[in-house]
């Protein structure tokens, strides 16, 4: 929902319907989504709230996730007072009494993880949030928060694509498997570079993806999503398209099956050096 914007309620509903009709049921938004689109803070949540208001049954057909903790000009605040405010404000904009998943968008170095844990526990007990997760946390920050939380962390949300391998290198995917956390991969198409490669490295990665895509009759972008999904941590690619046809096309990722040799060929192209 990062680019979910505008005043056209019918167009907004068409995007939601395109996802649901394709079997995509996880909707990931955030309170900060808005300013990047030239709109106000919370605009994306507010637009989705209008979609819900027009069809009260729609909310129950999805897993609704949002994020908070980014404050323009600060830039991060995970203090108890702010997180309580942020959660309530998101619920108000969305027009719902709870979200299925609430995530800290960026780590706030100045808040002790024990304070964060207490705040999330209180919101969970109050029925405002169903599960808790983190986004852009390091492995150490994930482990520190987990230590103080009475419930398990449900998700971690790193940048991950065939061009961004940090979660593999850092051990975040391994920790996710050990802790049974869902991995929500943002920017799974490398910020658009997989669709429009420029460097030699990007072209090599796309060529390796295309060889598999052509065999299954799908787009390179669908192959790129499936490459992420093939990891045993079972990452969920967060599809950012705001075009109904491309949202539907993303479901083609389920058609692809990777051999080990093909999967490692993409990894090797991205690393730009052979594996040991």
Catalytic residues: 33
For residues 71 and 76, what is the distance between their CA atoms, to the nearest angstrom?
5
CA angle 252, 169, 199 (to 5 degrees): 65
| Percent helix / strand / coil, the chain, rounded to 5 | 50, 15, 40
For residues 192 and 190, what is the distance between their CA atoms, to the nearest angstrom?
5
Check if the beta carbon of residue 90 is closer than 8 Å to that of residue 45. yes
For residues 23 and 16, what is the distance between their CA atoms, to the nearest angstrom?
11
Tokens of 59: 């909310």
Check if the beta carbon of residue 230 is closer than 8 Å to that of residue 222. no
DSSP-assigned states of every residue in 182-249: EEEEBSTTGGGTTTS--SHHHHHHHHHHHHHHHHHT--HHHHHHHHHHTSTT--EE------HHHHHH
Residues 134/137/138/143 CA torsion (nearest 10 deg): -30
């Amino acid at each position: 929902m990062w680019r979910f914007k505008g005043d056209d309620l019918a167009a907004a509903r068409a995007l939601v319907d395109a996802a649901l009709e394709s079997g995509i049921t996880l909707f990931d938004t955030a309170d900060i989504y808005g300013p990047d689109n030239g709109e106000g803070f919370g605009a994306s949540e507010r637009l989705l709230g209008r979609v819900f208001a027009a069809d009260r049954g729609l909310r129950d057909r999805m897993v609704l996730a949002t994020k908070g903790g980014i404050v323009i000009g600060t830039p991060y605040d995970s203090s108890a007072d702010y997180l309580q405010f942020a959660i309530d404000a998101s619920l108000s904009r969305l027009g719902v009494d709870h979200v299925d998943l609430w995530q800290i968008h960026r780590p706030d170095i100045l808040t002790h993880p024990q304070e964060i844990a207490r705040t999330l526990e209180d919101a969970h007990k109050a029925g405002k949030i169903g599960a808790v997760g983190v986004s852009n946390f390091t492995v150490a920050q994930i482990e520190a928060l987990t230590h103080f939380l009475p419930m398990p962390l449900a998700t971690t949300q790193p940048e991950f694509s065939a061009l961004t391998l940090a979660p593999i290198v850092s051990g975040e995917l391994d920790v996710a498997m050990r802790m049974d956390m869902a991995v929500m991969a943002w920017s799974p198409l490398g910020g658009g570079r997989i669709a429009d490669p420029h460097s030699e490295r990007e072209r090599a990665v796309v060529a390796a993806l295309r060889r598999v895509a052509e065999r299954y009759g799908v787009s390179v972008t669908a192959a790129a999503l499936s490459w992420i999904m093939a990891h045993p941590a079972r990452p969920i690619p967060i599809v950012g398209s705001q075009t109904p046809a491309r949202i539907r096309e993303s479901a083609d990722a389920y058609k692809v099956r990777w051999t080990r040799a093909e999967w490692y060929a993409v990894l090797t192209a991205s690393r730009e050096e052979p594996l040991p």
